Structure 1
């Protein structure tokens, strides 16, 4: 049975006229031509029809699955994914999945689940993303395709990064790197992307030397691939690694070079992140007044893009800058808004960083019970996220709050837990 015949049969079974099936979105003539197989509907039109006919989308796919149609849906989904149009990308992958399942093709099924996992990662549906990436890994293993296996391993590493599980991300990215280096012909650009992401992990594990080794290995590969955006991303991450080493001049050079390119390219989201990183560099050097204008520029960009995650991050840093300039009430307001937005986008790590500012502000005002409660909340959140360095910082500050309150026994316990966090951080490092 053809697609048109199937739609006509379902319409009649539901007692619908062609006009009723068309609704406000489609025309009656389109439905007529569709039922006579004179037009081929888009995925969006098929989804509308499936909803009105009360059937799953897969019921409207041609009885004879066509590999070329599955491939076209996959490639279109990939294009939408690169454009960060995650919802329409998922629609294309779902339609491709219906065909791939009927074809029984592990290669296409791996690509479908990989695409779905990446799109779900884009909308922060982490549990569903993990499920699809596990499926992608299983099908990719069946194919023996090293490049596909590398792509899946990298995606699982990126998921762990987004969840701030950096220790968990490292083995996935190391596996991806080993796999891509075995492919023939070699995919040097993908190798560079994996190296850059592995470097990001090392930055977040406070291992700047290992991070810079990754970035230095990736740089010539990106230059050879003529990938300026990849180079700009690498420069941002290199700047963060240099900042950890307190090599501030090198860090500033990397950030400024990235900012110049991104300004020309009008990549506002990454430009906002670069301005925020430059500001954080100044904050770490004690120049809160110099950092503040950059942070306000970054915040304006995040608001223009409706980037709640970016706003939360920048507001936390603005709160730090305000507190450093003794504007305590303003710091508290900024930190509360950062915490609210972080909760809205389900980013517990950023929420905990905002809580650290609230704790410091309460300590500054000598509201010791409140400060202790905030530090305990932050420490618990960091510990659950395996952010041991930040957990240690929170516990150490909690110890000082207890000392100010004359609670020496509790202070000793907090300092002991901070030392335990330091040992956990060392154990997580290679």
Structure 2
């Protein structure tokens, strides 16, 4: 019989085996030492000689037992700076909400590692901007995204250009600059298409934002088509966060059209998608929006459950800045459920957080919620005082729609209590805001 020849091991597998053997010897371990408790000495021997393929979980386990890292076992030395820089950027994003000093140190290290890599430099600039957004520094974010765009154009890094533009569009929308935001977003979408990255996570996110913009501008049919397209793409690619957000947009459209059952179906799809999504600031925001829309749809038990999960996610990722809004929404749900003591407790906690972070708009919203609790408890004077303060805060922060809503609520309460003169003033204020409100939302 002819001699049976074994297949030749690939070079990378032999190198991996050599690195495992070297790491084991540096640590003074035997093959038996690192095999225990769930591997065998013969398997380690085959692995070190490049004659067997380990699973990912086995490599992770071995890296831990060898007191090494997965990158050191798998990569060549020239590849380590890139791998290290990308890992540090991910760590910086994770630490940004709760530990600014640590985040700055991580970014400084990436700065050094990315000196000779143009694409890493672009990624660093985008990450700096994202972190500035999370930390409530929109001007710094705008500067970082502008720098990323300029760097990408200078170095012909075309896939980075739409990523920077879409972020700049988000900042414009946050400043209520709809025209500037739309122009940037449409440019970003055109570049996502030209670079064939529209179906990437960031491309889908930009298209989702465009669908939401169309919905705000009452271009409902187009918005619905775009959101359905995003939902289908996200489902195919298992982008659960984007799928959930697209379903939230569809639910808003259904609610506005009075299609309650269709809205609830979309909201339940969003809930299922978010259940499979890893913790992040974006997930916490999505859950809060889902809770609010479930509340609006009358699904109070689901709204309560979702908002509780949103709070848990915020605690795990260190998102203190947005927690007041979630607690306030939870308090509103509890009011409708008739759980007034719990509602008052959550609303007071939300108010304290809003005051701590000097968020006047959220403080005003919390005061409106506390006024709802006070009305339900027949504490009329307290409700009037809280609504009066809320109206003044909304006026100071130029929240036209919320001035109108709070003034209308206060006017009706004063009218019911017999104070017709004061009621007339506030109802007139509410009516006066209507043209501006329609202009802002039209």
**Deviation at 1:120?**
2.0
Residue 135 of structure 2 corresponds to residue 123 of structure 1 = yes
Choose which of 145, 149, 155 in structure 1 pairs with 2:167: 155
Residue 354 of structure 2 corresponds to residue 342 of structure 1 = yes
Distance in 2 (alpha carbons) for counterparts of 1:225 and 1:260: 16
- Cα 1:128–1:269 change in 2 (3 A) is closer
Distance in 2 (alpha carbons) for counterparts of 1:169 and 1:70: 40
Choose which of 207, 216, 219 in structure 1 pairs with 2:231: 219
- Cα 1:227–1:266 change in 2 (3 A) is closer
Q: In structure 2, what is the equivalent of residue 94 of structure 1?
A: 108
Q: In structure 2, what is the equivalent of residue 184 of structure 1?
A: 194
**Deviation at 1:218?**
2.2
Choose which of 165, 171, 196 in structure 1 pairs with 2:180: 171
Q: Which has the larger displacement, 120-129 or 364-373?
A: 364-373
**1:320-359 matched pairs, under 5 angstroms:** 320-344=332-356, 347-359=359-371
Alignment check: 8 A CA contact 1:392 1:418 kept? yes
Choose which of 311, 320, 330 in structure 2 pairs with 1:318: 330
Distance in 1 (alpha carbons) for counterparts of 2:392 and 2:253: 26
Q: In structure 2, what is the equivalent of residue 413 of structure 1?
A: 425
Residue 409 of structure 2 corresponds to residue 400 of structure 1 = no
**Deviation at 1:251?**
2.4
Choose which of 259, 272, 297 in structure 2 pairs with 1:260: 272
Distance in 1 (alpha carbons) for counterparts of 2:389 and 2:179: 27
- Cα 1:169–1:352 change in 2 (3 A) is farther
- Cα 1:351–1:374 change in 2 (3 A) is same
Q: Which has the larger displacement, 348-357 or 295-304?
A: 295-304
Distance in 2 (alpha carbons) for counterparts of 1:80 and 1:173: 32
Choose which of 113, 117, 141 in structure 1 pairs with 2:125: 113
TM-score (norm 1): 0.66
**Deviation at 1:193?**
1.1
Q: In structure 2, what is the equivalent of residue 389 of structure 1?
A: 401
Distance in 1 (alpha carbons) for counterparts of 2:219 and 2:420: 34
> Structure 1: which 5+ residue stretches go unaligned?
1-66
Residue 387 of structure 2 corresponds to residue 375 of structure 1 = yes
Alignment check: 8 A CA contact 1:77 1:115 kept? no
Q: Could you give the per-residue CA deviations for residues 56-82 of structure 1, whole angstroms, max 9, x where no partner exists?
A: xxxxxxxxxxx999967764454445x
**Deviation at 1:402?**
3.2
Alignment check: 8 A CA contact 1:375 1:398 kept? yes
Equivalent position SS for 2:271:
helix
Distance in 1 (alpha carbons) for counterparts of 2:109 and 2:306: 44
Distance in 1 (alpha carbons) for counterparts of 2:127 and 2:148: 9
**Deviation at 1:337?**
0.8
Alignment check: 8 A CA contact 1:259 1:274 kept? no
Q: Which has the larger displacement, 303-312 or 121-130?
A: 303-312
Equivalent position SS for 2:94:
coil
Alignment check: 8 A CA contact 2:85 2:113 kept? no
Q: Which has the larger displacement, 90-99 or 308-317?
A: 90-99
**Deviation at 1:89?**
5.6
Alignment check: 8 A CA contact 1:141 1:149 kept? yes
**Deviation at 1:304?**
5.6
Distance in 2 (alpha carbons) for counterparts of 1:271 and 1:138: 30
**Deviation at 1:339?**
1.7
Alignment check: 8 A CA contact 1:356 1:378 kept? yes
Q: CA RMSD in A?
A: 4.2
Distance in 2 (alpha carbons) for counterparts of 1:404 and 1:207: 39
- Cα 1:286–1:232 change in 2 (3 A) is closer
**1:190-201 matched pairs, under 5 angstroms:** 190-200=202-212
Q: Could you give the per-residue CA deviations for residues 141-165 of structure 1, whole angstroms, max 9, x where no partner exists?
A: 656765434222322333456xx54
Alignment check: 8 A CA contact 2:401 2:437 kept? yes
Alignment check: 8 A CA contact 1:77 1:89 kept? no
Q: Which has the larger displacement, 333-342 or 91-100?
A: 91-100
Distance in 1 (alpha carbons) for counterparts of 2:353 and 2:327: 9
The structure with more radius of gyration? 2
> Structure 2: which 5+ residue stretches go unaligned?
1-77
Equivalent position SS for 2:194:
coil
